[in-house]
Amino acid sequence: KQVVVSNGAKQAIANVFAQNQADVLIATGIMSSQLLANQPAFPVPSMASIQVNNNTITDVKSSGIPNFTYLNSPFNIKYGIEKLQEICRGKKLAVLTDANLLAIGTSREKQYADIETQIEWLALETDLSTTVSKISADVEGVYILSSLANYKADEIALFFEEINERKLPSFTL
């Protein structure tokens, strides 16, 4: 039997571990993968589907932790920020992300300390236009660290139109 846990899953992970009735626990998404990786022990074989610079991972081939494995993230946030900075030559960039992931980004600011630009972390609002209005006037580029899957196509089009009106270079995963 395979149990797949999706985002927002802190209690679900605890329940699977407590019941110890699953053959494997797979966390999907950044948030649930982070929650899983931060567990002190793994009574059920567990896999985090996305790992982004997790401190518990010491080897690129194995986690080194019994009953825990992971997939390396298909993207590198630091590299993306550096490339955007290189493109726009800006002194300040905004990183827009889901509100639930904002704490992960800001808690790992030390990992971005050697980047030659200031980073402004902002949560994506329910209304994307509100998000654009929160971007500081001195921001010179925007990195969207979200799939924007929770928004309608017309909202996304308007969002990028507003970013373009401000002449902000941007890219997203």
pTM over 0.85: no
Q: Which two tokens stand for residue 79?
A: 């590299």
User: 163 in helix, strand or coil?
Assistant: helix
pLDDT reported for residue 73? 65
> How many Å apart are CA 156 and CA 114, to the nearest integer?
32
Per DSSP, the residues of 83-131 read HHHHHH--SEEEEEE-HHHHHHHHHTGGGGTTSSSEEEEEEPPSSHHHH
Phi, psi values for residue 26, rounded to 5° = -120, 120
- For 39, half-sphere exposure in the C-beta direction (CA atoms, 13 angstrom radius) is 32
Nearest-angstrom CA–CA distance, 80 and 171: 9
Do 155 and 162 meet the contact criterion of CB atoms below 8 Å apart?
no
- Per-residue pLDDT in tens (0 to 9) along the chain, 173 residues: 444 444 446 888 888 999 988 889 888 777 778 888 889 999 999 888 776 554 444 445 567 788 888 877 666 777 888 888 888 888 899 999 887 777 666 656 666 667 778 889 899 999 998 999 999 999 999 999 887 878 899 999 999 999 999 999 998 76
What is the rounded CA–CA span in Å between residue 37 and residue 81?
A: 24
